[in-house]
Amino acid sequence: MAFIYSIDISKFRGIQKLEVSEFSNINLIVGDNNSGKTTFLEAIQLLFAKSQLSSIKNVINQRTVLNPNSSFYTSFIKMFNKKQGNDFWEFDIYALSNKGPLEFELNGREKTVSGEEALQISTLSVRQKNEYKRTTTVIPETARVFTGRIITQAGKKPVEKEIRCTSLDKVIPGPIVKKEVHYIPSFGHLRYDLLQNIVDNPEYKKLAIDILRQFDNSISDICYTKADDGTYLESIITKDGVNMPFSVYGDGIKKILYILNKLFNAADSILLIDEIETGLHKKYYDILFPVVFALANKLNVQLFIATHSIEAIDAILRYGNYENNNASKDPIKVITLKKVDDNNGSNIVARNVTGKYVYENRKVFEFEVRL
C-alpha cells in the first residue's frame, strides 16, 4: 500500500512554502474558497508523475476540462508561483512515504522567440506542423518557449529529463502510464463510465445497489442495456421491471457510483477526492461516508478529501466515533489551509490537528474548522 507520511511544497501555484506532516488514513483538506485545497491535491498527484511533460498533462487537464480550448502552455506556466522572476521558474514537491522519498521538481527558463522558430522547435509532429501552417492564416510574429528539466524520485535514485514546450503546442505527446494515485474531480461523475468496475463483481455490485436503495428503494439492479442505435447505456432496473437510463436520475446516484468505481481502481494506493459534497444532499452523508471509509480501509486506500462544507466535515468526524473510540491512533487528520498576505505577498499556511481534537472543540466551543 502506498502511504504518504508528510509533504513539503515549495513555489507551486499559490503556495510559496508549505509543510504538512503526520498524515492518517483519512485526511480532510479544508478551507475557504481559493485557499489552495485543489493545489494541495495536485501536488500529491505530481509526486507520482514521471520525468516527462506528458506526466503533468493530466493534472493540467483537470483544471481545463470545462474549457477544452485553453492553451496548454498558459496552463503550464500557471503552475509556477507568481512571485518568481520573469525568466527563471521552478517548483519542488517532496514527501516521505512508506516506499521511501518521493519528489517532483520542475525548473527552467522562459524566453520569447519568433513564431517560425517556435514552430520548428515545438513538440508538434511534422504532419501537425504542416497542418498548422495550412490552417493558420498568419504565424504569430513572436511566441514563448520554455526549456528546462523535470527531476523525479520514487525510492532511491532520482531521474532527470530535459523538456521543452512552446506557446504553439496544443498536444503534448507521451505514453499513458499506470496511475499510482487516483483523483476524483468535483464534477467527474458527469463524464465517467460509472459501472466499469462494478457490474462484473457481484460483491461490489451488491454494495452499490444497497447504497443506491437508500436514495430510491425501487432500484433492483444496475447494468448496461443496448439502445436502438447499438450503443450501450448505463441503466437502472426498478423492482417492477422498468429500465431507466442514468440520465433521468440526479447527480447523487452518479456521484456515489463514481466514488465507488474510483475506490476499486485505487486499491493499495491513494485516492484524492475534490469537493466530496458536490452532487450529494447532506442528508445522505451519514449513509455514504461510513461505507466509503470502510471500503477504503478494506482496499488499503489512503484518502485525501477536500471540502469547504461544514456539514460534510461534521459527517466525516462522526465516523471517528470519538464518544466511544479510545484508540491510540486517530483515523482522521484535519488539515486547514488558509491564504495569508504579508509584506512579501501571499502564501498558503496550514493548521494540522486530529479529527478528535476538531470534534471535541466543535462540540464545546463551536470550533471553526475552515478558518
Number of other residues whose CB lies within 10 A of the CB of residue 245: 12
Which residues, 6+ apart, have CB-to-CB distance to 342 below 8 Å? none
The answer to whether position 216 is within a domain reads yes
- Characterize the bridge pairing of strands 219-226 and 232-238: antiparallel
* Alpha carbon distance 336, 254 (integer Å): 28
Burial class (CB in 10 A: 0-12, 13-18, 19+), 103: middle
308 and 160 within one domain: no
Grid look-up 444496475 returns 222
234 and 149 within one domain: no
pLDDT of residue 58: 81
The answer to whether position 105 is within a domain reads yes
Cβ proximity of 165 and 255 under 8 Å: no
* Alpha carbon distance 288, 306 (integer Å): 16
138 and 235 within one domain: no
DSSP state for residue 332 in the 8-state scheme:
E
SS3 state of residue 5: strand
Last residue of a domain, one of 133, 157, 178: 178
323 and 196 within one domain: yes
- In the chain, at which residue ranges do the beta strands (DSSP E only) sit? 4-12, 15-21, 26-30, 88-97, 100-114, 142-154, 159-166, 181-184, 219-226, 232-238, 243-245, 270-274, 302-307, 332-342, 345-354
Domain housing 328: 184-365
Cβ proximity of 306 and 29 under 8 Å: yes
pTM: 0.91
The answer to whether position 240 is within a domain reads yes
Cell numbers describing residue 178: 499506470
The answer to whether position 371 is within a domain reads no
226 and 95 within one domain: no
pLDDT band at 354 (very low <50, low <70, confident <90, very high): very high
Q: pLDDT digits over 241-264, tens only?
A: 888 888 788 888 888 888 988 998
pLDDT of 24 > 60? The answer is yes
Burial class (CB in 10 A: 0-12, 13-18, 19+), 107: middle
SS3 state of residue 48: coil
Give the CA diameter of the chain: 71
pLDDT band at 163 (very low <50, low <70, confident <90, very high): very high
SS3 state of residue 234: strand
pLDDT of residue 254: 86
- When divided into structural domains, the chain yields a total of 2
Q: pLDDT digits over 126-158, tens only?
A: 888 888 788 887 888 999 999 999 999 987 789
The answer to whether position 40 is within a domain reads no
What separation in angstroms does the CA of 173 have from each of 38, 170, 330? 25, 10, 43
189 and 132 within one domain: no
Q: What is the mean pLDDT of the chain?
A: 87
Which CATH number goes with the domain that contains 330? 3.40.50.300
Q: pLDDT digits over 51-95, tens only?
A: 888 888 888 888 765 555 667 888 899 999 877 666 789 999 999
128 and 65 within one domain: yes
Question: Percent of the chain scored above 90 by pLDDT?
Answer: 48
The alpha-carbon radius of gyration of the chain (Å, integer) is 23
What separation in angstroms does the CA of 353 have from each of 36, 126, 250, 326? 18, 54, 35, 17
Last residue of a domain, one of 144, 178, 212: 178
218 and 167 within one domain: no
The answer to whether position 39 is within a domain reads no
The answer to whether position 36 is within a domain reads no
226 and 89 within one domain: no
pLDDT of residue 335: 96
The answer to whether position 7 is within a domain reads no
234 and 169 within one domain: no
SS3 state of residue 112: strand
Alpha helices in the chain (DSSP H): 37-47, 54-64, 72-77, 115-121, 126-135, 202-212, 251-265, 285-298, 310-319, 355-365
pLDDT of residue 41: 96
236 and 345 within one domain: yes
pLDDT of residue 64: 64
Last residue of a domain, one of 114, 146, 178: 178
348 and 331 within one domain: yes
Cell numbers describing residue 4: 504518504
